[in-house]
A and B are shown apart, each in its own frame.
Chain A
């Protein structure tokens, strides 16, 4: 099976812009989680979607949003970008919720100038 894919892999934006990142889970997986990874904070949970419904949300401002489509593909959006949003954004998929093994994609590296 193909692994988790994320597009784009690299992105450069300026402050105030918005960005949309995409994640395609492993075929058959219905759960997609998003994480922000920075050197200082490690892996921080953003949100989790299962069957098009947001099931969990981390402690991030409302500028961070996401959605999941009927084919389980997911997008996350960050509006009004700030310098501090520069990070590696990781998507992980699993077959179900809670306790199911999560498989990560390669990430999208976002640089905000």
Chain B
């Protein structure tokens, strides 16, 4: 089955700097890769997703890149703000009849 590895487990950045979180997956059939942000006391919220027919997707300060050959995808947050502090999860699925498999999460702290 699918296995998703996520790194780093914790990340601290200064406000205004960029943050990058990386995930690798094992199943070459996976073609859907969402990223979720989870704030304290809340459920995960989808922030961006990418499908295998594109290599990059941007939404304001957030971007995701996908390298299908290397089986890895990354989340990029530019101009970080204190409100970006949260736990971020990557996930992967094959868009078939299999559930999402999540990485273990990255705790991002943005220091003002």
Cβ-defined partner of A58 (8 Å) among B32, B36, B45, B99 = B99
- Chain B contributes a number of interface residues (CB within 8 A of A) equal to 26
* Smallest CB separation, A57 vs chain B (Å): 9
Q: Which residues of B contact A (CB under 8 A)?
A: 31-32, 34, 36, 41-46, 49, 51, 89, 93-105
Contacts A101-B34, A103-B46, A106-B43; is A45 near B99 (CB within 8 Å)? yes
Residues of B within 8 A of A98 (CB): 93-98
The interface on chain A, measured as residues whose beta carbon lies within 8 A of the other chain's beta carbons, has a size of: 22
Q: Is the interface of A mostly helix, strand, loop or mixed?
A: strand
Please encode chain A, from 45 to 67, with 1 for each CB lying within 8 Å of some chain B CB and 0 for all others.
10010000001101000000000
Tell whether, in the assembled complex, residue A102 and residue B97 are in contact, meaning their CB atoms are under 8 Å apart: no
| 18 extra A-B contacts, CB within 8 A, seeds A33-B100, A35-B102 | A42-B103, A43-B44, A45-B100, A55-B97, A56-B97, A98-B95, A99-B31, A99-B93, A99-B95, A99-B96, A101-B46, A102-B34, A102-B100, A104-B36, A104-B43, A105-B43, A106-B42, A107-B43
Contact among B34, B45, B96, B99 for A48, CB-based, below 8 A: B99
- Output the least CB separation between B48 and chain A (Å): 11
Write out the residue numbers on chain A whose beta carbons fall within 8 Å of the beta carbon of B32: 99
